């Protein structure tokens, strides 16, 4: 968040190594430690790189980590409000990259999760992101159509 990309990469590499150690201890896991799955850590790396997304290198890393991490989560977890937060981060990175189409696709996916879960907080977060998108791309029909998905 302070803009030290190289430092972030070093610390995230250390965290990946430590997470790998946890992977080897799957028999020790308790049911409440579901978040210790490798794809969860991958999503977390994507969130961290997303803070550095002003640099195209980190933007690409954020998109790759968030996209692959989310896709690798168990399907039932993908449909949760908690996992949808990774989609919010991914959409935000796409917005900052200027990719309206990808941002709209990801927001649409997260909006469906908000609808399925009844999550008011997720819907509020997505509405705020949509406001930013509408200001940036006021004439893009894909952005305009998102308003219906967020009702």
pLDDT by residue, tens only, the chain of 151 residues: 667 777 777 777 777 777 665 555 555 656 556 666 788 889 999 999 999 999 999 999 999 999 999 999 989 899 999 999 999 999 999 999 999 999 999 999 999 999 999 999 999 999 999 999 999 999 999 999 999 989 8
Residue 1: predicted pLDDT: 61
Compute the C-alpha angle 135/97/121, nearest 5°. Answer: 60
| Eight-class DSSP state of 43 | H
* CA–CA separation, 142 and 93 (whole Å): 17
Domain boundaries, the chain: 1-77, 79-151
Q: What is the pTM of this model?
A: 0.85
Conformational region of residue 143, where left means phi above 0, alpha means psi within -120 to 50, and beta covers everything else: alpha
For 75-99, letters b (16+ CB in 10 Å) and e give eeebebbebbbbbbbbbbbbbbbeb
* CA–CA separation, 1 and 35 (whole Å): 23
Q: How many other β-carbons are positioned within 10 Å of the β-carbon of residue 73? A: 20
* CA–CA separation, 33 and 45 (whole Å): 18
The DSSP element (H or E) to which 49 belongs, if any, is: helix 38-50
The DSSP element (H or E) to which 13 belongs, if any, is: helix 5-23
């Amino acid at each position: 968040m302070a803009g030290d990309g190289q430092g972030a990469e070093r610390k995230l590499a250390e965290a990946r190594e430590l997470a790998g150690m946890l992977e080897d201890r799957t028999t020790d896991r308790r049911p409440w430690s579901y978040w210790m799955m490798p794809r969860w850590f991958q999503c977390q790396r994507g969130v961290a790189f997303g803070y550095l997304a002003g640099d195209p290198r980190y933007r690409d890393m954020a998109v790759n980590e968030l996209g692959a991490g989310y896709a690798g989560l168990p399907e039932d977890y993908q449909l949760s409000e908690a996992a949808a937060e990774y989609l919010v981060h991914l959409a935000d990175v796409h917005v900052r990259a200027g990719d309206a189409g990808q941002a709209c696709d990801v927001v649409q996916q997260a909006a469906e999760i908000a609808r399925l879960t009844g999550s008011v907080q997720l819907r509020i977060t997505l509405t705020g992101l949509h406001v930013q998108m509408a200001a940036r791309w006021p004439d893009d029909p894909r952005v305009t159509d998102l308003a219906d998905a967020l009702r």
